[in-house]
Structures are given as C-alpha cells and as structure tokens.
Structure 1
C-alpha cells in the first residue's frame, strides 16, 4: 500500500481501529480521521483490545456510527476533504440470527450485498469526501480467495460511476505494526492472509502507475469474471463459456447488474 505522509487520509469500517492507529504511528500523516461502523461503547465492549483511546489521546478524530452506504453519514464530515479514503478487508456486518439472515438475503445474495457496500463506498467517497483538486483515491484491501474474489472488484464494481480501476498493489501488513485483522463483529483475530489493495479514482495517477499492476484477465480474449484466458480460438472460448464455473459467475454478475439498475433508479428519484 502506497501512502504519502502529506496526504489527508480517512479510514472507514475500521472495527477495532487498530489499522488507523498503526497507520498513524507508521507514517504520521498530515491529517487522519478514523471511522468505524459501531458506537464507542460497542467498540470497547466488543474488542477488549481496541485503539479508540490511543487515537483520541493523540488528537486523532474518531467518527463512530459511520455507515459508508448512507449519504448523511458522509455529510457529517462537515466539508472535510481527503486525498485517499481506505477501506480495509470490507465485509457486510453479520446478521443477528437466522431470521435476519433470511430476510436480508431473499432478494440479494451475500455476493451482491458485499459488492453493493463497496460500490456505495466508492460512489459517495468520490462525490462527497475526496478533494477534487487532489489525487482522489479510494483504496480497498481484500483477500484474493473465495468468496472475495467472486465480487469481481476489478471488473464491474464501478459500473456507472465516475471512477475507474487503476490497478492493484500487495498489502504488506508488516508495514503496520499492531494492526490486527478481525472477524466481522467478533473479538477474534484472523490469519494474516495476503491482502491486495485495489485502487480506484476518477483521475489517472502518474505517481502510482509505475508501482501498480493491471491484470491480463481484464484485457481482450480473457474472462474477467473467472480470471481466465487467453483463449486459443473460438472453441476454447466457447468451452469456457459453457463451463459450470463460468455459468455460476455469470449468474452472480446478472444479479449484480439487477441491483445496480434498482439502485440507480432510486438515486434518480
């Protein structure tokens, strides 16, 4: 992950705030605001080892109840603007019991709900929080394993948005001592699986271009959904299209496009 100490940085969805604290200690950015979905009491109750007080003692603003899918949440920034906004290992909050799970997944799968979380993060970050005169960067760090790689983060997450996928860079957790990757809604650490930071922006960025990679599977004669290719002729291509894996990925993509249509229609009202 490339970070410039002169950047104004906002972190979102930082459950126990350990990433924000590690980032603060590692680079001492020009400006840092940390945010988390929970309220202060919940953070301190849920995570026995949290960085809330460590941040506030160092005069770092911590915003609680920060829901990246809610426009009003972003407006709480009170015209503060940023150069980069970072979302580490995002995942929708766990549902409270089987009934809540069934109710929330009747219309959309977990795949679509997680994509929707990230789509709205990028949309509202670009519209309401990133300084138009700055680099305007959205960083999403995720794991390159199932189910995360089925979200098609690089391929269709920014469909319909004024933002593009610029490329990716490995996330090296050793650069952030004290950062603990957590299970969602649980005071339990997870294995430090290698992460990938995906970078999005409405602008091109010459400074980052030399250190980012852009995968071949997003180019012609490949399948971005399955990260497959290049195909050797029409027969090879057709065989892939007919394969069970591709059909499953196609179904997820179809559901995602339906969600986008519904969401865009609501935004236009």
Structure 2
C-alpha cells in the first residue's frame, strides 16, 4: 500500500473528537467586580441649579404686562428691589375682576416703595424718561410671557400678531432704557412651539438690539410668583400651571454691547450664550429635560385662550 493510501486509510479509521465547550463559572463566594465608574462629574438637575437673577436690588426696574403682579411683589418682598415700576394692560377695575387676589400684591408693591401703573399698552406706551435730554431711566425692563391672547386659531396669524407685539414693545422700550452700558431688556417665553416660531432673536435685531445671554427661567427663584393667564382666574381652578412649564429668558442689549470677538476671526460676532451664568449646563440639556411630557400642555394651551404678561 502506498504512502498516500495508508494515510488516507488511517484518517478514515480515526474518529474525530472535538473538544466540548465548557462555560467558565465564577467560584462561589467571589462577587462580580464592580464596573469602573466614570470620573466625569454628573451635571446638576435643573431644579437644583443656581438661578440666574438679571438684576440688582438698587436698579431701576420696569415690568410690562404684569398680570396679577405676583412677580413684581416677589422682587420687592424677597429680592429687596427698591425701585420697581409695575405696569398692567388693564384698568384697576378690570384687573381686580380678573384677579381677585391682586389687592395684596398691589399693597406689597406700594408699601415697598414701588408703583403700579394701569392701562399701559406695550404697543403704545410712552417712554419713561427724565432730564432735559429726556434720557431713559430704566436699568432693566422685563416683559414676562408676552402674548396677544387667543385672537385666532390660525397658527401663522397668531405668530404674526405676537411678532408685531414684540417689535412694537422693543421699539417703545428702547427710549426708556438707561443710557448706561449694560442696561437691558429681558423677555421670557415658554419653550417649544409656537414660541420658537416667533424668532425672538431676529425681532430684537430689527429693533437695534442683540441677545447678550439666555438662561432657563426658574419660577421657584421668585417665591409667591404664579403665572397669570390673560383671561384671568379660571373659576373652579384646574388647568395647567404656567410656572411649572419649561421657559427661557433672553437678555437684550443695544447692538455692540453684547458682542464679543469671534474665535480666530477679525470681526465681531453676536454673543449668543446659552449657558446659565455660573453654571456649566447647556440649553440643549434643558430642552431634553422637557421631553415629551409638555406636548399635551402645549396642545391644550393652543386650544385655549393664550397667555399675556406674567
């Protein structure tokens, strides 16, 4: 028998015996090693972040469309602001009928040295000025949650009406702004649509303003504050609570005052800061935290009368 035939014959007679796989087991009494934890510190939850307060107690503060005046009274009672002028769209009689509890807020403002002015329309208001040159006197001008109300169910028209409101407000507020560098206008809006459709940054630019910074609005920073609806207090209660919804504040300054040098560029660019002052959290993180839980609230709000003012 030749060599090749012998090898073939032997290979046919030899049975293959593959090794059987036996899974490894951990000896008894030995626990699973703990996974390595990331050394990167976790970001603080939104409700625990230090709130941004864009004012000082000694500054001249003007508030537009103040609703039930709870925001203004909180500035005086809890933040010790000394020069507060709060304005409302309604007459004193209309205000009391819409918000029966408003008297206590009016008293707190007046007792704290502030003033309440009635019948002030953001689209027609006159400048708050003084001196021979009629210079503006306000260091901070606030318009919290501006809205024209439920004029129409058509989204495009509603967006246009609110854009017109904001453009008129910016133009009318500018003369009231103190000539001191750093004086600013602060507008707060809810997150998401339809508010993002208003393009508030562009509206400010058309009025000679630019965004210096923006931050997540935290209602809890203003004890006693309650979001007031345009139609007033709903009988029987119920409905969504505006102070619990995600919102964002935008601080506008005159063009050039908020500009910074672009990295590696020779021209000045708008500083559109989306970080909270003294906080490393980004705006994108805030939006993610809102998630889908507010979609039903947005839908309900669009179906009802919308909110104007605080």
- TM-score, with length taken from structure 2: 0.58
Q: Which has the higher helix share?
A: 1
CA deviation digits over 1:197-248, x for unaligned, max 9?
0111105259xxxx97249xxxxxxxxxxxxxxxxxxxxxxxxxxxxxxxxx
Q: Give 2:145's aligned residue.
A: 89
Q: Tell me, yes or no, if the aligned pair for 2:67 and 2:229 is still in contact at 8 Å.
A: no
- TM-score, with length taken from structure 1: 0.67
Q: Please state if 1:35 is matched with 2:87.
A: yes
Structure of higher CA gyration radius: 2
RMSD: 2.7
Alignment counterpart, residue 157 of structure 1, candidates 183, 203, 211: 203
Q: Give 2:96's aligned residue.
A: 44
d(CA) in 1 for partners of 2:107 and 2:218? 25
Do the aligned partners of residues 35 and 134 (structure 1) sit closer, same or farther apart at CA in structure 2, a change above 3 Å counting? farther
Q: Give 2:273's aligned residue.
A: 213
Tell me the SS of whatever aligns to 1:74. coil
Q: Please state if 1:131 is matched with 2:131.
A: no
d(CA) in 2 for partners of 1:2 and 1:81? 17
Structure 2 alignment gaps of length 5 or more = 1-52, 131-135, 235-239, 260-270, 276-310
Q: Tell me, yes or no, if the aligned pair for 1:139 and 1:197 is still in contact at 8 Å.
A: yes
Per-residue deviation, 1:59: 3.0
Q: Tell me, yes or no, if the aligned pair for 1:8 and 1:84 is still in contact at 8 Å.
A: yes
Per-residue deviation, 1:185: 2.0
Q: Tell me, yes or no, if the aligned pair for 1:141 and 1:197 is still in contact at 8 Å.
A: yes
Ranges of 4+ aligned residues in structure 1 off by more than 4 Å:
none
Q: Please state if 1:6 is matched with 2:62.
A: no
Q: Give 1:23's aligned residue.
A: 75
d(CA) in 2 for partners of 1:170 and 1:67? 27
Q: Give the number of equivalent residue pairs.
A: 199
